Amino acid sequence: MNFTGIITDWYTKNKRDLPWRKTNKPYNIWLSEIILQQTQIKQGLPYYEVFVKKFPTVKHLALAKEEEVLKLWQGLGYYSRARNMHKTAKFVWNDLNGIFPLDYKSLLTLKGVGEYTASAIASICFNEPKAVVDGNVYRVLSRFFGIDTPINSTEGLKTFKLLAQSLINNDHPGIYNQALMEFGALQCKPQNPDCSVCPLNSACAALKNNQVKELPVKLKKTKIQIRHFNYLVFISSNRQSVFEKRTGNGIWQNLYQFPLIESLHVLNEKDITKHEVFATHVQNNAFEISLYNEKPIIHKLTHRHLHTHFWIIETNQLSKNAVSLEDILKYPTPQLISNFLDSFNLK
DNA sequence: AACGCGGGGAT
DNA sequence: ATCCCAGCGTT
């Protein structure tokens, strides 16, 4: 049996029972693929269940408010996926009569659908022989064929895409694509794969050359920056606070948070109370300020560590943008804020 | 071509 | 600590 045959055979014996494998509806496959971008199945699975239940069809999703979509997406990260997904749902519903594009090329025009996702949907739903190339595929192919070209170099991208496409099963491309990814996730794992039980071990170049640990090769790593976040948790005597929508193009776009003072170094109480963000909400009012966490809460993102302090500011009245404390929990927020709200008793 | 974008799991 | 995860859009 050849590579493709062995992978497919392994898949029929070892595949996990996952909900999106019970359907070929483009809406469901699309939804699962967006959720699973840069996300492990264990993390994404409960979100998929919630979304298909809340939005059974593209129409349901299209008619939802973005804020509702973001609230359900809360905690999953890479929130542009949720914003683009909602945008695409509205586009499909309003401009395409609720019918998803039927081939790879037209799928690519959808916001949030790149080469990987278009290949996945086209192969799984429409039997179009387009090979997916994701992190699993890079790993399996680089090891089996012994390719040390960096997977994130221009040459590597091209090489692996061509190789993957040359291996595709033209009769069952969707099954084969999923098989290769499942094989990478369960058998040809990043760390400590058990090559003794691998059905490809007799022909694997990396195993033969003792390079399993070294492959795939990936260029550089992003340097982590430290930022200091100071959140102003206002609490007025009539149980209101200030919760604002993040605008602009940066992190957590369209999610909500307390007023934020960002800085390059640690701030003390005086720095906070003299800051214009503070003054915007507390003018000539009496206030009482206290630091909620003496030690910074370090929220770790891929390329930033956010050293965070929450300042509790009790005041008799708030000047603007006040919302009731109970309502705060209804807004979509970053996990950093959500964690704080869990630990901070609002009563 | 390089970078920004989250959060969690595994080792 | 470090790497990785069913990647994509922007610059």
Distance, Å, A308 CA → C5 C1': 26
Distance, Å, A125 CA → C10 C1': 29
Q: Does the structure show a pLDDT above 50 at A51?
A: yes
Give me the percent of chain A exceeding a pLDDT of 90.
90
Mean pLDDT (whole number) for A96-110: 98
Residue A187 approaches strand C within 7 Å at CB: no
Closest CA to A105 of A125, A87, A88, A130: A130
One DSSP character per residue, A122-167 reads HHHHH--------HHHHHHHHHHTT--S-TTSHHHHHHHHHHHHHH
Mean pLDDT (whole number) for A276-283: 89
Mean pLDDT (whole number) for A229-253: 94
Report, as residue numbers or ranges, the catalytic residues of A. 33
* A 300-319, residues with C-beta < 7 Å of strand C: 300, 302
pLDDT value of position A320? 67
**Do A316 and A237 form a contact (C-beta atoms < 8 A)?**
yes
Q: Position of tokens 């593209």?
A: A58
> Strand B nucleotides below 7 A of a protein CB?
1-11
Q: Predicted confidence band at A347 (pLDDT cuts at 50, 70, 90)?
A: very low
Which nucleotide is closest, CA of A80 to its C1'? Answer: B5
pLDDT value of position A282? 85
CA A242 centroid distance within chain: 27
Distance, Å, A299 CA → C8 C1': 24
Mean pLDDT (whole number) for A85-109: 98
Domain extents in chain A: 3-208, 225-343
Report how far residue A281's alpha carbon sits from residue A242's, in angstroms, rounded to the nearest whole number: 8
Report how far residue A103's alpha carbon sits from residue A231's, in angstroms, rounded to the nearest whole number: 47
Mean pLDDT (whole number) for A285-302: 94
Which nucleotide is closest, CA of A225 to its C1'? Answer: B4
Distance, Å, A76 CA → B5 C1': 12
CA A280 centroid distance within chain: 34
- Which residue is nearest nucleotide B11, judged by alpha carbon to C1' distance? A191
Q: Does the structure show a pLDDT above 80 at A241?
A: yes
Which nucleotide is closest, CA of A338 to its C1'? Answer: B7
Report how far residue A181's alpha carbon sits from residue A135's, in angstroms, rounded to the nearest whole number: 8
Closest CA to A4 of A146, A129, A114: A129
- Which residue is nearest nucleotide C7, judged by alpha carbon to C1' distance? A37
- Which residue is nearest nucleotide B9, judged by alpha carbon to C1' distance? A40
pLDDT value of position A346? 67
- Which residue is nearest nucleotide C3, judged by alpha carbon to C1' distance? A190
One DSSP character per residue, A269-283 reads HHHHHTSHHHHHH-S
Q: Does the structure show a pLDDT above 60 at A328?
A: yes
**Do A185 and A140 form a contact (C-beta atoms < 8 A)?**
no
CATH architecture of A225-343: Alpha-Beta Complex (3.90)
Which nucleotide is closest, CA of A36 to its C1'? Answer: C6
Q: Does the structure show a pLDDT above 80 at A3?
A: yes
Which nucleotide is closest, CA of A136 to its C1'? Answer: C6
Distance, Å, A100 CA → B3 C1': 31
Domain range A3-208, CATH class: mainly alpha
- Which residue is nearest nucleotide B3, judged by alpha carbon to C1' distance? A222
Distance, Å, A51 CA → C6 C1': 17
